[in-house]
Amino acid sequence: MINESVLLESRTLRTSVLERTHVLDKVKTLSLLPDGLHVTTAMVAAYYEVSIQVMDALVFDHRDELSANGYQVLTGAELTYFKQVSGLSNRAAAIALYSRRTVLNVGMLLRDSKIARQVRTYLLDAEYEVRTRPVDNSVHSPRWDELDERVDSRITDVLGKTVVPMLNVLIETSGEQRRELISLREGVEQIQMKLVEHDLQISRLQRGQDVRALTGVIGTIDAMTWKEFELHVAGLLRRDGCTDVEVYGGHGGDRGVDITARTADGRSVAVQCKNFAPFRHVLSGEMQKFLGSSKVLHQADVALYVATCAFTREALAIAAQGGVTAVHRGLLEAWSAGVQLQVLRSF
């Protein structure tokens, strides 16, 4: 699993989790500009509870990375247009804007911010959950601990997006009750933070109680060469009852697939194997290429894209539309540990 120190040091790893901007709202409410998309340097500093000077230093050190993920400075005509379309009233000659993606990027770079550490904790928990999610396509009722987590998340969301903003408005317009309202707002924010801490504790406890049957499996897979990985997948197919398993090994004649086989009930199988680094993602273009090879050229009944990493959202959407089973890192780990893929089971 990715740990916090590696996340702080590796730009590649940070980039691999930047789509998970929802973790920002799980930790604390992020106030947005009137356009609903951007925030200023001051707003980011307020979110992470650091000074403007800290933010300026961070941007100076990591401007290229932040710019690649949405950071921009508007001046002149661009700034004038932005003020018009967003309703922003600001007389500054330039304004730095951050998207939610950039704000998350900042959270993976700030070392000494308590809020940033909580954001990184949620990111790591989400990464762990994706990797270890069990194979189950059936509909099931939520467990009580899942319901508890949803309730905590919902309460935190209501406090941050409804109660606190309402109190802010009252404070700005109040007279005699201003001090009492400020005290009430501080109390609400303390409750919000306690709920966040409780959510983190529950997540860690559940992680500690997980069955460790998969321990070491994915590490062994990561150490394989691409050829060993293809043979490993072929062995899993045979274990699950497939016959006529043929590994092409990249020597041509495979017409875009690495392995072909037949399920126990006679369906044709086409497999693509990708032994990528854990932080890599299978892209939509790669999925489209395999979809054409497996379904058009091979006319396979079962198409498996097996990867040692995750898939982008677009790649997963293409897989779902085209009937490809995307075997991501977590699913591969479970399959290797003895769980049979549902798509290979006989009807």
Distance CA 13, CA 24 (A): 18
User: How confident is the model over 196-224, as a mean pLDDT?
Assistant: 58
Query: Cα 256 vs. chain centroid, distance in angstroms?
Result: 29
User: From residue 241, how far is each of 80, 264, 265, 330, 343 by CA, in Å?
Assistant: 66, 5, 9, 22, 12
DSSP letters spanning 99-114? EHHHHHHHHTT-SS-H
User: How confident is the model over 311-335, as a mean pLDDT?
Assistant: 88
In which band, very low, low, confident or very high, does the pLDDT at 269 lie, cut at 50, 70 and 90? very high
Sequence-distant (6+) residues with CB within 8 A of 343 are: 302, 304, 325
**pLDDT of the residue at 302:** 93
**Among 80-84, 134-138, 297-301, the least confident range:** 134-138
Q: Dihedral sign, CA of 195, 201, 205, 207?
A: positive
User: How confident is the model over 10-36, as a mean pLDDT?
Assistant: 81
Q: Average pLDDT, whole number, for the chain?
A: 77
Sequence-distant (6+) residues with CB within 8 A of 4 are: 117, 120, 121, 124
**Among 128-137, 139-148, 253-262, 269-278, the least confident range:** 139-148
pTM, two decimals, is 0.42
User: From residue 232, how far is each of 131, 210, 229, 259 by CA, in Å?
Assistant: 19, 26, 5, 11
Could you list the beta-strand ranges (E) of the chain: 38-40, 72-75, 94-99, 243-247, 259-262, 268-274, 281-282, 302-307, 310-311, 324-327
Q: Per-residue pLDDT tens for 70-118? A: 899 988 888 887 777 666 676 788 889 998 899 999 999 998 899 999 8
Of 271, 259, 244, residue with least CA distance to 343: 271
pLDDT at residue 135 is higher than 60:
no
Q: Per-residue pLDDT tens for 34-81? A: 767 788 999 999 999 999 999 999 999 999 999 988 899 988 888 887
In which band, very low, low, confident or very high, does the pLDDT at 141 lie, cut at 50, 70 and 90? very low
- Give the chain's count of helices (H) and strands (E): 16, 10
**pLDDT of the residue at 188:** 67
